[in-house]
Structure 1
Amino acid sequence: MGRLDVANKSGDAAALEGQPAWLQSYVESPEKQRALYKRTLIIVVLSQIFGGAGLAAGITVGALLAKDMLGTDSVAGLPTALFTLGSAGAALIVGRLSQRFGRRAGLATGFLAGGIGAIGVILSAVTSNIYMLFASLLIYGAGSATNLQARYAGTDLANAKQRATAVSIAMVSTTFGAVAGPNLVETMGEFARSIGVPALSGPFILAAAAYIIAGLVLLFFLRPDPFVVARAIAVAERKAIESNPGIQAETITTDRRRIAVAALVMVLTQLVMVAIMTMTPVHMGHHGHGLSAVGMIIGFHIGAMYLPSLLTGVLVDKIGRNTMAVASGVTLLASGVFAAFAPGESMLLLTIALILLGLGWNFGLISGTALLVDATNPANRARMQGTVDVMVALSGASGGMLSGLVVAHSSYAILSLAGGILSLVLIPFVIWSSRTK
């Protein structure tokens, strides 16, 4: 029996004692739940459009800004490491806030913090204060973590056959801002110069505005909170089961093995993607490519990360989470091979490599997210999602930090090939999980 039916059949007997009447009305009405599910997706889409634009700034020019301020390639991966490390701490905080107070409080707080961090990056570039830059990048990472965690909001009221699609709707909406952001690098650089600040801080002006708007959209419009309603429905289901043990409900189960596999899929795909992506702008700079070329390739990459999401979500729901997780590993391997053997002067081959890199990440994130939602319940879901996203962010921080060191002591080709091979590690674990289910 579906969870909407369970909640409806539970009626007044399973209503939440002491809860407001509006919340009980959602628990008892599948129609209101469906309407709130659709409304939530619309609000998440709006916030993600702005969140994507905020995310793009650090990816595109973060490494170049650090190289410019410090004068060495060996620390070019440090900005990505810092804002992904900051996103790890933010993921934990956003997850805990969401678990306790709902998605609205957690997500709005994260985006607003990301906007404050972007403002700090601008000030550090103006004052040439490297310590302020590092601290601001940590705070800026909160926007990245929140941008990812927003994908969970759409799944709170989705059934098992809608979850990957709900994730994909949230992610594809990120495309509009995320693709526009890198292609506005040059424009924002000129704007920054016109107001007397360094050109490379220009994209962070866009990021500050975008993250703050995303936070305000969620703060004012994500009402009623979908996670609060989903948690109330789960409590109603438990009460219904206590009074009628024959009822089966999907929202009160937890599967730790699937949680571990979901985490592994997302951690490895994030590690490989961040490592190769971080050093691509630096690699291109060494071969004479300008900011506009870097922005274009990163734009294609981010487009591949998010734009195929609707199709990916349908595939994950239709042909299975495990199949698409394996497809992620294979696609990332192909990306690593292309990046390793592509001549540095070839825009075409580098673009193909970065598109495959984004696509492999997309497959891994959506399949891993769906696995994680399937394996948890509202009593622990937001907290567990935050914990897994901490591991994802830490893997990204490691990839960003190590990428600069690997390239400085070997080459971009070695980094790319190693990343592609590493992505294959997830395949035997996914196969093992499917065989021991």
Structure 2
Amino acid sequence: MPESQPPALTPPALIAPEPPVLAPVQRRTMVVLVIMQIIGTVGVGVAPSIGVLLAGEVTDNEAWAGLARTASTLGAALLGLPLGNLAARRGRRMALASGWWIAAAGGAILVAAAQWNLIVPLFLGLLLIGAGSAVSLQARFAATDLAESDHKARSLALVVWVGTLGSVLGPNLGVPGEIIHRATGLTVFAGAFFLAAICLGLAGTIVFLWLRPDPLLTLQRASPSTTAPAGKKPNPVRRILAELRENRPARFAVIAILTAQVVMVSIMTMTPVHIAHQGGSITLIGLTISLHIAGMYALAPLVGFITDRYGHRPTVGAGILIFLVSLIIGALRPDGTGWIITSLILLGIGWSFVNVAGSALFSKVVSPQTRASSQGGVDALSNLCGATAAFAAGPLLAASSFSMLSLLAIAVLIPLTALTVSRGHTPKA
């Protein structure tokens, strides 16, 4: 019996605009997502700095520490697609809540790993806490489900932006961790992850209780064309690949998202190690990563406005230029603390321009039938590329220098730059 063919993808240009009656639901959705994102990203922000330092302390081996540093990013990659598929089946509320609770469990495991220097719980905890990164990323797509077509980038950027507070506070949880250490006897790192677990669990509870009605399910009910015909359940990976083969703007958006992630993660992950090798304190490392994360998120509303106003391709181009300035500084002035901090801030801003523009474009042009699964798949692939880049960056830094790492990151930008400049291969949007 011949295999049934999956339903044809609905061209984005033929999708009817969201009915005005959905506007109140969108406003409520944005309020819940904003509160959830602020609280949850406090827990997520622990991994890039305190998690990196804990990995070095527990393993006492650079090779193992490098693998541990990538564990949270790998966890986000492994869980991105399943959480996206869960959203497609059960809605955003169940997917986001489940992701935050998995991350909270990871945070709790890391308390034990930090307290008793346990290697296996360290890897498991970092792997599970990566679910927080996955749902934090998916929240930006949830903001676009019911947004008007010409406001999608701004809605997406707002959710990215509010993560600034949590993501900046997260790397500095070592400070309240010291208070918990004095009060309870937990180590500083264990106290930090204890607070992270509380924040992650609370974020899941908030979205589970109050993200009603569910934005994705509401969109599906309002637009029946957004769901596949009954009885046909094509493989989600196959459908995503078919989408990318047929949809050139979506392909460009994916390349932009992946490139930004590889460049940013490879440099950001190794910066705490580089500063520590130069004798920098945990306070300086936390401040540097906090300023970097502020660069990633603080200008997001402006980037969203620029994207909606001037188009996705010019915004990606601006991000590439900012990336180049950041990496040139890192290559030429790797030993100057002030220069490294400046480079990391610009690295975050460059990521913001490319990622916000690429994500908004993908959300706009992807077909309704693959919306949630494709978004989860792109985030999973993005985190997998980030994990690979972070893992490779460790040996590269050990074998060469921070300058060489910056030069290699510049080389990664070349394909995206060529696609952005070539009008024949990029969308007009």
- TM-score w.r.t. the length of structure 2 is 0.88
TM-superposition CA deviations, 1:383-402 (whole Å, max 9, x none): 00011111101011011111
How far apart are the structure 1 equivalents of 2:344 and 2:408?
15
Structure 2 residue 411 is matched with structure 1 residue 421:
yes
Q: How far did 1:343 drift? A: 4.4
How far apart are the structure 1 equivalents of 2:290 and 2:426?
40
Task: Report the equivalent of 2:8.
Answer: none
Q: How far did 1:127 drift? A: 2.6
Task: Report the equivalent of 1:179.
Answer: 168
Structure 2 residue 314 is matched with structure 1 residue 314:
no
Structure 2 residue 61 is matched with structure 1 residue 72:
yes
Task: Report the equivalent of 2:48.
Answer: 59
Aligned pairs, number: 401
Matches within 5 A, 1:36-55: 36-55=25-44
How far apart are the structure 1 equivalents of 2:124 and 2:370?
31
Task: Report the equivalent of 2:231.
Answer: none
How far apart are the structure 1 equivalents of 2:192 and 2:326?
27
Choose which of 143, 152, 169 in structure 1 pairs with 2:132.
143
Task: Report the equivalent of 1:233.
Answer: 222
How far apart are the structure 2 equivalents of 1:434 and 1:289?
47
Letter in 1 for 2:143: G
Choose which of 325, 329, 333 in structure 2 pairs with 1:334.
325
Matches within 5 A, 1:42-121: 42-121=31-110
Aligned residues of 2:37 and 2:159 also touching (Cα < 8 A): yes
Letter in 1 for 2:256: V
3-state SS of the aligned residue for 1:77? helix
How far apart are the structure 2 equivalents of 1:320 and 1:350?
31
Q: How far did 1:430 drift? A: 2.9
Seen in structure 2, the aligned counterparts of structure 1 residues 413 and 189 have a Cα distance that, compared at 3 Å, is: farther
Segment drifting more, 224-233 vs 425-434: 425-434
Q: How far did 1:382 drift? A: 0.3
* Unmatched 5+ stretches in structure 2: 1-11, 228-242
Letter in 2 for 1:64: L
How far apart are the structure 1 equivalents of 2:333 and 2:63?
22
Seen in structure 2, the aligned counterparts of structure 1 residues 132 and 227 have a Cα distance that, compared at 3 Å, is: same
Superposed structure 1 runs of 4+ greater than 4 Å apart: 2-7, 433-437
Task: Report the equivalent of 1:358.
Answer: 348
Aligned residues of 2:29 and 2:211 also touching (Cα < 8 A): yes
How far apart are the structure 2 equivalents of 1:331 and 1:424?
14
How far apart are the structure 1 equivalents of 2:398 and 2:345?
24
Structure 2 residue 361 is matched with structure 1 residue 390:
no
TM-superposition CA deviations, 1:98-149 (whole Å, max 9, x none): 0111100111100110111111111112232201111111111101111111
Structure 2 residue 282 is matched with structure 1 residue 291:
yes
TM-superposition CA deviations, 1:32-62 (whole Å, max 9, x none): 3011111111111001101221111001112
How far apart are the structure 2 equivalents of 1:5 and 1:420?
38
Seen in structure 2, the aligned counterparts of structure 1 residues 221 and 160 have a Cα distance that, compared at 3 Å, is: same
How far apart are the structure 2 equivalents of 1:54 and 1:301?
17
How far apart are the structure 1 equivalents of 2:420 and 2:364?
15
Segment drifting more, 44-53 vs 74-83: 74-83
Task: Report the equivalent of 1:375.
Answer: 365
Aligned residues of 1:103 and 1:225 also touching (Cα < 8 A): yes
Q: How far did 1:3 drift? A: 10
Choose which of 156, 164, 170 in structure 2 pairs with 1:167.
156
Structure 2 residue 333 is matched with structure 1 residue 304:
no
How far apart are the structure 1 equivalents of 2:225 and 2:373?
20
Structure 2 residue 186 is matched with structure 1 residue 197:
yes
Structure 2 residue 212 is matched with structure 1 residue 218:
no
Seen in structure 2, the aligned counterparts of structure 1 residues 53 and 164 have a Cα distance that, compared at 3 Å, is: same
3-state SS of the aligned residue for 2:368? coil
Task: Report the equivalent of 1:265.
Answer: 256
Aligned residues of 1:107 and 1:150 also touching (Cα < 8 A): yes
How far apart are the structure 2 equivalents of 1:71 and 1:271?
26
Q: How far did 1:272 drift? A: 1.0
Seen in structure 2, the aligned counterparts of structure 1 residues 203 and 4 have a Cα distance that, compared at 3 Å, is: farther
Segment drifting more, 154-163 vs 324-333: 324-333
Seen in structure 2, the aligned counterparts of structure 1 residues 49 and 428 have a Cα distance that, compared at 3 Å, is: same
Seen in structure 2, the aligned counterparts of structure 1 residues 6 and 237 have a Cα distance that, compared at 3 Å, is: farther
3-state SS of the aligned residue for 1:155? coil
3-state SS of the aligned residue for 1:223? coil
Task: Report the equivalent of 2:234.
Answer: none
TM-superposition CA deviations, 1:175-226 (whole Å, max 9, x none): 1111122233233234235422222233222221111111111100000001
Over the aligned positions, Cα root-mean-square deviation in angstroms equals 2.3
3-state SS of the aligned residue for 2:186? coil
3-state SS of the aligned residue for 1:288? coil
Letter in 2 for 1:373: S
How far apart are the structure 2 equivalents of 1:325 and 1:118?
35
Q: How far did 1:332 drift? A: 1.5
Aligned residues of 1:111 and 1:142 also touching (Cα < 8 A): yes
How far apart are the structure 2 equivalents of 1:340 and 1:76?
24
* Unmatched 5+ stretches in structure 1: 8-26, 239-252
Seen in structure 2, the aligned counterparts of structure 1 residues 190 and 283 have a Cα distance that, compared at 3 Å, is: farther
Task: Report the equivalent of 2:314.
Answer: 323
Q: How far did 1:79 drift? A: 2.9
How far apart are the structure 1 equivalents of 2:50 and 2:57?
10
3-state SS of the aligned residue for 1:380? helix
- TM-score w.r.t. the length of structure 1 is 0.87
